[in-house]
């Protein structure tokens, strides 16, 4: 299997890439399509389930598992190695707990409009980078799940498949870099475009 990486994609290490479940897949296009089919099943599950708490470590893992359970043996499991972006692996669990508590506090206290809560949640989650891969798609769907739970429409994320290379993806990664510096307004505008 030869991977073709879009801008800002986390490269696979050898151990992770060996754990691909469908053995017939040999190209990046086939992998993208397979993952997309897996994600659609997860979305059906996510958006038909009754209102429950999303802001837990168990749920963060469960959504990743549902999105990639037919694709990767490590679906739903935190990474143990360093990735190019992402915290040291021993900090994943405690930092996620702080993130869940912060987001719960912002919601309970109306600290920010709900779009700002969801965009900061997405950015901090992908910055932690809890899983060996697929953190972008997982953290975008987590933000969407939070919006739906709060009776708001999900983000449109530039209305393009962000897994593929495009100007829209470039724009997304650029706005994430601004968010890294604390400026969330461009990322927010992108997410609603």
Ligand X SMILES: Nc1ncnc2c1ncn2[C@@H]1O[C@H](COP(=O)(O)OP(=O)(O)OP(=O)(O)O)[C@@H](O)[C@H]1O
User: Which chain residues interact with ligand X by CB under 6 A?
Assistant: 6, 8-10, 85, 126-127, 133-137, 162-163, 173, 176-177, 180
| Binding positions for Mg ion, 97-136, rule CB under 5 A | 133
Nearer to ligand X among residue 67 and residue 117 (C-beta)? 67
Q: Which residues pair with 59 in a beta bridge?
A: none
* Residue 83 binds to Mg ion (criterion: CB under 5 A): no
Nearer to ligand X (CB atom), residue 115 or residue 134: 134
Which CB atom, from 33 or from 53, has the smaller least distance to ligand X?
A: 33
Nearer to ligand X, 105 or 120 (CB): 120
Decide if 137 contacts 126 (C-beta within 8 A): no
- CA 188 distance to own-chain centroid: 16
End-to-end, the C-alpha distance of the chain in Å comes to: 34
Q: How far is CA 31 from CA 2, 117, 153, 176, in A?
A: 10, 32, 29, 25
| Pair of tokens at residue 34 | 């397979």
Q: Does 9 bind Mg ion (CB under 5 A)?
A: yes
Subset of residues 10 to 39 that bind Mg ion, contact rule: CB under 5 A: 10
Q: How far is CA 56 from the centre of its chain?
A: 15
Residues of this chain that bind Mg ion (CB under 5 A) = 9-10, 133
């Amino acid at each position: 299997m030869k991977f073709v990486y879009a801008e800002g994609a986390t490269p696979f290490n050898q151990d992770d890439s060996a754990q691909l479940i469908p053995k017939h897949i040999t190209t990046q296009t086939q992998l993208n399509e397979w993952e997309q089919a897996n994600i659609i099943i997860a979305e059906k599950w996510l958006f038909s389930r009754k209102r429950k708490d999303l802001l837990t470590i168990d749920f963060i893992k469960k959504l990743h598992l549902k999105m990639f359970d037919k694709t990767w043996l490590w679906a739903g499991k935190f990474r143990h190695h360093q990735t190019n972006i992402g915290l040291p692996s021993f900090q994943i669990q405690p930092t996620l707990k702080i993130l869940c508590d912060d987001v719960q506090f912002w919601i309970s206290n109306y600290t920010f409009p709900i779009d700002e809560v969801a965009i900061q949640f997405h950015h901090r989650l992908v910055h932690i980078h809890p899983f060996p891969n697929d953190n972008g798609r997982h953290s975008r769907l987590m933000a969407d799940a939070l919006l739906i739970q709060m009776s708001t429409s999900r983000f449109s994320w530039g209305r393009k498949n962000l897994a593929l290379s495009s100007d829209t993806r470039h724009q997304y990664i650029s706005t994430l870099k601004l968010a890294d510096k604390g400026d969330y307004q461009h990322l927010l505008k992108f997410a609603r475009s």
